[in-house]
Structure 1
C-alpha cells in the first residue's frame, strides 16, 4: 500500500455489483492513484485491484427462505467486514445495492466514524418508502440511477445525487454481429435464442430447468433455431454442465461476452435482474421469468407497489416485454411467447420500439465517474474535519 494512501471499503453482494464496483475502483484510481481498496466483491473487483476479503459469489441469494438457508455464510461475511471497520477503519465505505446487508453495514460504519456513500438506492419507490428516513441516518450520500428516485430522498433532506445509469457506458459489444456469430460457432442465417439463467445459484436451481424445458419445446417447434447461453462471472460451467447434458440440446455456452451474446439473439429468455436492462439497451425482444419460494412471493405481493417485476419495464413505464411470474413461469407459456416474437413480425417490432425508450430515460453516460467524484469529495470533507 502506497504511503499516505486513502483506503476505501467497497461492499458489493452479487455479479452486477461486482461489475459496477470494478469500474468504480478504476475510476477512483484514475482520479487518485494512491487510493487502496478492500471489501466484498467478485472477480471483476479483484481484477481492478480490490482486496476482496469476502467473495461476493457466495452472497448472491434472493428471497426470504433462501436468505435464511444461507444465513451462516452471510453472518460470517458481515462480521469480517465489521471487524475491519472497527480495527482498521477505511476513509470511506461505498455500498453498492444489496440493501439488507449493506444498510446494516452502514450502521456499523457510522458508529465507527466512517463516511458512507451508497450507490444504487434500495427500491424505496417500489416498497417501504418509509425506509428513507432510516437510510438517511446511516449514510452520508446517496447516488441514484433514476431521476424519479431523487424526490424520495429530498423530502427527508437526505443528500442525494442523480448520477445516471452505468450501463449506458458499459453495454458495448466488442464484435460485430457477424463476427460474434462466427466466434460462437453459430450457423449464419439461423435464428438464435438466448438463454439467460442468471448469476445466483438459487435462480439456477429454480429456473434453469424451466428454461431448458422451454428450449426443448422451442426446438421441437422450430428445428432450425440455435441456442446460446452467456455464463455469469459468479458461476462455473461445471455447475451447469449436468443440466446441459441432460437436456439433449446443443447450447453454445459463452464466457465473458454477455453483450456480444445479446446482439446475436433474435429473442431471449431471461430471469429478472440487471441483465434485463442490458438486453433492453441493445433492443432485443425478451420474456422475463421470475420465481421464488411461495412464502417469499406471498409476502412480496403484499408489500410491493409497482406494476412490473422487470426493471426494464419499470423504466419504460409500460409492459414493454412480457413477464411470467411464479406459476406462470412454466415452459409452455415461455415457449409460446418466444414463438410469438419469432413468428409475428409486427409484435417483435412493437417490443423493439418500446425498448428503444429505455436508454433515453437513463440519463447521460459517465455515471461511475460521477460516483468516483462523489467518493473523493466525501473523503476530502472528512479530512477537513
Structure 2
C-alpha cells in the first residue's frame, strides 16, 4: 500500500534540504507519494506542489503583513488537502510560525509530525518550546547543542547532523568554473550574496553593489575584481534587476550565476552575505566573509527586545566567538561592507585568522 507524506517548507534552503530528505526516502521506499509546499528542488523530484513556497518566504514581524493574503491562502490549501487526503506523516521544515499552525491541525487529525531543522528558540521566543512539545512527535535538530537544549525541556529531539555537510560539494576547479562562465583568468572573485527572498535583496543588494563600486575604485588595474552574484532558485533575473542590479551593469564587472551554487562560492576570495544558511555554506567551503542583516525598523526594535545573543550569524554562534565580521541594521552601509572586505583582501593576518576560525566551525 502506498504511503503519503506531506512536506512543507518555505525558503530556498528549506526547499534544498527538503529535496535531499525526499531523495533519501525515495531510495528506501519506492512506494512513497509526496505533496505539500515547496519550490523547484522539491518539484523536480515529483513532489506535488500545492502552493509555491516563494510566496510566503518572508522575514520579520512587520513584513508578514504585506504577504498575509498569500500566507492565509497557503494555510487554507494545505489544511484542506490534509483533511481530504490525510498523509501518513507531516514533515515540516523551518518556517516555525507557519508550520506549527499546520502541526496543530495534523495532531487533531491524528497525523504524526516530524519537524526537521528546529526553529532557533534558544535565541529568541523560547516559549515556542511548549508549542513544539504539544504539536510535534519528533524533532530533528541540525546543530549539536540543540539536542540537549530541547531534551531538557521535554521535547523528543535527536541530532541528525547538518545537511550542508552532505551537500556543500565542489565539482569544478577554479579554472573550469572561469571557463564555463566566461571569466578571464587572473581576476579576484568577490561574492555578493544578498539572500533568496525578494525582501532581502531589495534591502541589501543596493548596499552590496555600492560597496563593490568602492572596492573596484580602490583596486589597481593589475589586480582586477569580478563580482559574482548567485541567482537563487526562488528569484528571477528581473527580481535582481528590480532590486538595483540593472543600474550597475555598465559600472561594475559583474557575473550573475544561475545554478553552480557551490562551485561559485568556492572560487570566491571573499564574500558579503545575508545572515542565514548561506553563511554556513561559505564556512564549510572555507570562504572568508562579512555577514550582514537588515530588517524593517519596527521589526528590528521588537527583535532587540526579544533576542539576547552576542552574535546573530550562525557561523559566530557555532564558533562561540567573532569568527567573521557582522554588520547589523544601521551598520549595513557600503562603506562598512567595503572596509571589512578590504581588510580580508589586503591584511594577510586578518585573512589567516578568519580562515582558522572557519576551520574550527567546520570541525
Aligned to 2:308: 305
Shift of residue 13, structure 1, vs aligned partner: 0.6
Listed one character per residue, the Cα deviations across residues 5-29 of structure 1 (whole Å, up to 9, x for unaligned) are 1000000011000001111111111
Indicate which of 180, 184, 189 corresponds to 2:181. Answer: 184
Shift of residue 185, structure 1, vs aligned partner: 2.0
Shift of residue 176, structure 1, vs aligned partner: 1.2
**TM-score, scaled to structure 1:** 0.91
Shift of residue 128, structure 1, vs aligned partner: 2.4
Instruction: After superposing the two structures, state which structure 1 stretch, 65-74 or 124-133, moved more.
Output: 124-133
1:87-236 mapped onto 2 (5 Å cutoff): 87-222=84-219, 223=221, 224-236=224-236
Aligned to 1:382: none
Paired with 2:152 and 2:288, the residues of 1 have a C-alpha distance of: 37
Indicate which of 262, 266, 270 corresponds to 1:267. Answer: 270
Indicate which of 287, 290, 305 corresponds to 1:287. Answer: 290
Aligned to 2:324: 321
Aligned to 2:247: 246
SS at match of 1:324: strand
Listed one character per residue, the Cα deviations across residues 136-168 of structure 1 (whole Å, up to 9, x for unaligned) are 100100000112111222123221111010000
**Structure 1: where are the runs of 5+ without partners?**
361-385
Aligned to 1:377: none
**TM-score, scaled to structure 2:** 0.96
Shift of residue 217, structure 1, vs aligned partner: 0.9
**Structure 2: where are the runs of 5+ without partners?**
none
Aligned residue-pair number: 357
- Structure of higher RCO (CA pairs closer than 8 Å, 6+ residues apart): 1
Paired with 2:127 and 2:60, the residues of 1 have a C-alpha distance of: 21
Instruction: After superposing the two structures, state which structure 1 stretch, 237-246 or 21-30, moved more.
Output: 237-246
Indicate which of 289, 294, 299 corresponds to 1:296. Answer: 299
1:278 aligns with 2:275: no
Cα contact 1:185–1:252 (8 A) shared by 2 = no
Cα contact 2:19–2:45 (8 A) shared by 1 = yes
SS at match of 1:64: coil
1:77 aligns with 2:74: yes
Paired with 1:184 and 1:57, the residues of 2 have a C-alpha distance of: 27
